[in-house]
Amino acid sequence: MQSAECKVQSAECKVQSVEQTARQICLAVRFQMPSALRSARSRSIMHFALCTLHFALCTVLFQSSTHAQSTRDTIAVVQPKVVKIFGAGGIKSLASHGTGFFVSKEGHIATTWSHVLDADQVRVVLSDGRRYLARVLGAEPQLALAVLKLNSEEGAEFPFFNPDEAVSAGTGTRVLGFSNMFNVAAGDEPVSVVHGVIAAKTIIEARRGVFDSPYSGPVFVVDGVTNNSGAAGGVLTTRDGMLLGMIGLELRNAKTNTWMNYAIPVKELSSPIQQIISGKFERKKDPNEDEPSLKPRRYKPLDFGFLMVPDVVERTPAFIDSIQAASAAAKVGLRPDDLVLFINDELIQSCRALQDAIGRLESGDQLRLVVRRGNELVNVEIPVPRKKD
Amino acid sequence: MMKRLVLIALMCLSATVGVQPAFAWQSTAQQLEELEERAFKQAVSQVAPSLVRIETVGGLDQVQNFLLGNGPTTGVVVSADGYVISSSFNFLSKPASILVTTTDGKRLAAKAIANDTVRMLTLLKVEADGLVPARPTAKPSIRVGQWAIAVGRALDANSPNVSVGIVSAVNRVWGKAIQTDAKISPVNYGGALVDVDGSVMGVLVPLSPQDNSPVAGVEWYDSGIGFAIPLVDVLATLDRLKQGKDLRPGLAGFNFSSTDMFGGDTKIDRVRYDSPMYRAGFKDGDLIVELDGHKVTRPAQVRHVLGSKIEGDKLAIAIKRGDETKQADLTLVDELPPFEAGFLGVLPTREKIGSGPPTVDEGVGVRWVYPDSPASKIGLKPRDRIVKFRDQTLTSAAQLIDQVSRVRPSEKTVIVIRRDGKEQSLEATLVGYPEDLPKDLPTSAIESVAETEPKASDERKVDGSEKPRTGRFGEEVAESKNAWWAFVPESYNPAYAYSLLVWLHPPGDTLEATVYDSWKTEAERRGIVLLGLKAANVGPGWQANEAEFVHETVVSFQKKYSIDAGRVVLHGYDKSGPFATHLAFKHRDLFRGLLLAASAVSERPPENLPEYRLQFQLICGSKDPAHPILERMANSLRGIKYPANFTSLSDLEHRYPNADGVDAMARWIDSLDRL
């Protein structure tokens, strides 16, 4: 054991110097690329050099870790960590199956908080066909997260992902999705694997009704079809098996009217997972819970001295109809027929959206407007007047 | 330099060779994957400055029952001075305002300049300079199987969204598009399909080979079937789009005899009057052999060449006429003069079906001659036989109708007739279709079954097949919750072709008894089969999704009874008019007459086409508030050269036509095979 560590240490020293050389070569390669491309021969030499280099780096760097290297290896390493979950559901369009992944060697499983878990006990089937009962240890519905504990034999150990080691990755990174979508994997069959790239990293904002999702926060959007029935709770990994995210529930994006394929970054989930496992978890208060759902609109356009055109259809454009003489709106030079495009950087797509945005203002705020007048965009700013409640 | 690299590489190899030599192959595979991934990211960063984010304000929330999103979309910069091309899908809502955000975060007001309705693109203009135009990929270098990266800006304000796939095909959707298996959807419509070198192969759009409606192809989003219009093609038409005029499909002005796109030949059925083809001297019956240097033998190949053409484009065409070959360079147009069939003024004799093969010189009998028509002017009389028209020997009335429709009004033509066993040649000048109905139209004789068929038992015919039902009967259709009733003349004789009147009731009342009572006598006299269809819910009336039930029921009646395909009429009254109109325009191959009582034509009529003859009758009471509207509408239908009759019923309010009205409608139906 000790001698192995020594080997690693000396290897690491080597790596550092090799890494430096590699950087130089990469730079050289980049600058030389166009001329190098001119000849196939030099290209193959270049390729050989790069491959060899990379091989050298990888073999040395990763020999101490369990991370796989090729996609095929990754799949072999990841699949045993992903499990099939069976619970409530099975009526109408509600599936009674889901996916989860081990987050401890003792048999803790992270999965999506969904109706599947709405049973006293759920059944978990491992990739090798072993079957266990499990119970829900804790859940954080706001993160769509639940942690299960397997009812396993004393001393049993399972291959697992350490959520603290979850990584992030940029747009265009190749990824693999692992899940039991449509319950295709049966018994001792490992879950299905799909591939794709990260299409975007963006933020889901559930509150505006754009997404019908309990989860608000950053997500990885994937260009593969990862989010199918039963796929939620599966994992998204990099090509070399690093944990990126947990595949979310099926979700429709109302902005585009399309189904989204996405995963919640495990980085967002790792501390609640650890807290649930250690029994120290306390649910955060939902910031929206305090707010009454139907808050009266505090301000209206007339408070600033302008009137909107009649709101007749779903998306009536927010044209100003008239301006009151000597009002704040008149002072900043707003005119009838100006089209309001932004209020405090929020795109205003309709009269209704304008009424909502103005309604949310607080006294002391600034009302910043961008209006379209002909082909010009005009910026104006009006202080929000004080109002007695 | 090279030598040094190799040396370093070998050194690295030797340094690690003792550690894990067995996995060298994996490393190579991984290296390739990693290099590819890096290439994807670099390609995206290269194209990113040429992609803008588009936002819209106001507008419709649905089109054709299709829910429109209002999220951000994408456009591709095509010139430094502010021109941006995008998918027309992104502007289906007809927004009140369009905003463009450039890569450096600048927000600009945009104006939609023009649409390319062939490739489903929209050109935008913003007041800016110094934008970074996309670099186009040369078309020949786009190969099936190469990497294709779809890039949009819909998902995130700060960085583009990406999907990676390959080029699945080129020249798809009739030569218009590159196909890719990258995930194409509203998140990247209007964005770019990029080569790994960062050049732009095409602009992403929804498309469908079967359908050219603006939402066609959206149902394939994220399916692995996506399309992009080659950027070089966009740039080639950019100057024309900048003029602010929408680009429409380029028309040459012909149609094919064969309806089999993939199996038929390229023989021209008709060259349209005053079209580019007509002006270049091409004629009916010419065989197209070459287009733009491509040899063609099937209609589908022709469509492939023409599919991506727009008005103003050139078309090099070569045809064969007998042993002669003829070539021309056409300039395609966006509109042809409306087609107008000539009118001779004859109702042809309805011959008994299956009474032996037609003899070549038999010709077509004259049943009735319209007063004051060209036929009456040259002295045609009932029982004359027309044996030749435009030098064509005739064997059927359908053939004669087709031939007459090839002559334009005011054009002279030679007719050979036989009277009392002697042939004579006459010259007639055709006119347009008359507005008015013949006042007194004798019925066409139908012999009774007894005279034409040997006696058989009541329910079974001689050949053992079941005898079709006659009289009034009906049926419920369980699957669709619809129902129908029918009246087949008691004297029904399958040896004669009948008219089929398809009745669509207004909401709230099937009017079954009224329609049956009004029509029974005329149906018997004039050989009309009545088919009354019932909406699934009579109260609210017909819904768009019931079109299929109507179509299927009519087709099944056509199979069961002897029906003249040229006399199948849709009949709507009051609020069922719009549904009847919709069906008539949708199934032009099935319905040849649209009869609207106290109801207007509710959709813009399609172009009058020689291959789908469609005639109109609008009828209403003189006290009906809709009267002047319907009268004007009949006039405008005639303006686009449809045969259209308007019948005014004196002293009638807004209600179903009275006995005079039914008499007029029956005369109109009984003259639909006029020529």
Q: Do A172 and B23 touch (CB under 8 A)?
A: no
Predicted TM-score (pTM) above 0.80: no
pLDDT over 90 (residue A16): no
Q: From the CA atom positions of chain B, what is the Rg in Å? A: 32
Q: Between B5, B31, B97, which is nearest A54 by CB?
A: B31
For chain A positions 257-286, those within 8 Å of chain B (CB to CB) are 257-259, 261
For chain A positions 321-360, those within 8 Å of chain B (CB to CB) are 339, 341, 347-350
- CA-wise closest residue to B571 among B563, B580, B579: B580
DSSP B331-400: E-BS--PPP---B--EEEP-PPTTSSPPPTT--EEEEEE-TTSHHHHTT--TT-EEEEETTEE---HHHH
- The number of C-beta contacts closer than 8 angstroms across A and B is 209
Render pLDDT for A281-329 as a digit per residue (tens, 0 to 9).
877 655 555 444 556 788 999 999 999 998 888 888 999 999 999 999 9
Task: Give the pLDDT confidence score for residue B437 in this predicted structure.
Answer: 93
Residue with tokens 């042939």: B423
- CA-wise closest residue to B56 among B87, B30, B10: B87
Q: Between B26, B107, B156, which is nearest A201 by CB?
A: B156
The alpha-helical segments, DSSP class H, found in B534-624 are 547-560, 577-586
Burial B603-616 (b: 16+ CB within 10 A, else e): eebeebeeeebbbb
Render pLDDT for B245-284 as a digit per residue (tens, 0 to 9).
999 999 999 999 988 889 999 999 999 999 999 999 999 9
User: What are phi and psi for residue B404, nearest 5 degrees?
Assistant: -65, -35
pLDDT over 60 (residue A44): no
Average pLDDT, chain A: 80
Task: Give the pLDDT confidence score for residue A23 in this predicted structure.
Answer: 40
Task: Give the pLDDT confidence score for residue A250 in this predicted structure.
Answer: 87
pLDDT over 90 (residue B480): no
Q: Do B70 and A198 touch (CB under 8 A)?
A: no
- Best of A255, A351, A354, A369 to disrupt the B interface by mutation (most B CBs within 10 Å)? A255
Identify the band that residue B588 occupies on the pLDDT scale cut at 50, 70 and 90.
very high
Render pLDDT for A158-172 as a digit per residue (tens, 0 to 9).
999 999 999 999 999
Pairing state of beta strands B73-77 and B51-57? antiparallel
Residues A251-261 have a mean pLDDT of: 85
Contact B595, B515 (CB under 8 A): no
Q: Do B163 and A199 touch (CB under 8 A)?
A: yes
Asked if the C-beta of A44 comes within 8 angstroms of chain B's C-beta atoms, the answer is no
Let me know how long chain B is: 675
The neighbouring-strand residues paired with B56 are B98
Q: How far is the C-alpha of B501 from the C-alpha of B569, rounded, in Å? A: 5
Q: Do A11 and B19 touch (CB under 8 A)?
A: yes
- CA-wise closest residue to B666 among B601, B599, B593: B593
Q: Between A42, A223, A253, which is nearest B164 by CB?
A: A223
- Best of B32, B51, B70, B111 to disrupt the A interface by mutation (most A CBs within 10 Å)? B70
Percentage of residues in chain B with pLDDT exceeding 90? 76
Q: What is the largest CA-CA distance in chain B?
A: 112
Pair of tokens at residue B86: 């995008």
ipTM of model? 0.74
Render pLDDT for B575-584 as a digit per residue (tens, 0 to 9).
999 999 999 9
Of the two residues B23 and B343, the one the predictor is more confident about is B343
Q: Do A56 and B15 touch (CB under 8 A)?
A: yes
- CA-wise closest residue to B269 among B282, B279, B281: B282
- Best of B3, B11, B187 to disrupt the A interface by mutation (most A CBs within 10 Å)? B187
Q: Do A52 and B9 touch (CB under 8 A)?
A: yes
Asked if the C-beta of A316 comes within 8 angstroms of chain B's C-beta atoms, the answer is yes
Render pLDDT for B2-26 as a digit per residue (tens, 0 to 9).
444 444 444 444 444 444 444 555 5
pLDDT over 90 (residue B83): yes
Kindly report the CA angle at B45 between B42 and B51, in degrees rounded to 5?
140
By CB atoms closer than 10 A (0-12, 13-18, 19+), residue A63 is middle
For residue B653, the one-letter residue type is E
Query: What are chain B's domains?
Result: 48-242 (2.40.10.120), 254-331 (2.30.42.10), 346-429 (2.30.42.10), 469-669 (3.40.50.1820)
Task: Give the pLDDT confidence score for residue B634 in this predicted structure.
Answer: 95
Q: In what order do the strands lie in the sheet with B593-597?
A: B471-477, B482-488, B528-534, B498-504, B563-573, B593-597, B615-621, B644-649
Average pLDDT, chain B: 90
DSSP B267: B
Checking phi first, is residue A249 left (phi over 0); if not, alpha (psi -120 to 50) or beta?
beta
Percentage of residues in chain B with pLDDT exceeding 70? 92
- Best of B3, B158, B161 to disrupt the A interface by mutation (most A CBs within 10 Å)? B161
Q: How far is the C-alpha of A285 from the C-alpha of A289, rounded, in Å? A: 7
- CA-wise closest residue to A44 among B308, B5, B25, B521: B5
Render pLDDT for A94-103 as a digit per residue (tens, 0 to 9).
778 999 999 9
Q: Do A49 and B34 touch (CB under 8 A)?
A: no
Set of chain B residues whose Cβ sits within 8 Å of the Cβ of A59? 16, 19-20, 23, 27
- Other Cβ atoms less than 10 A from the Cβ of B42: the count is 15
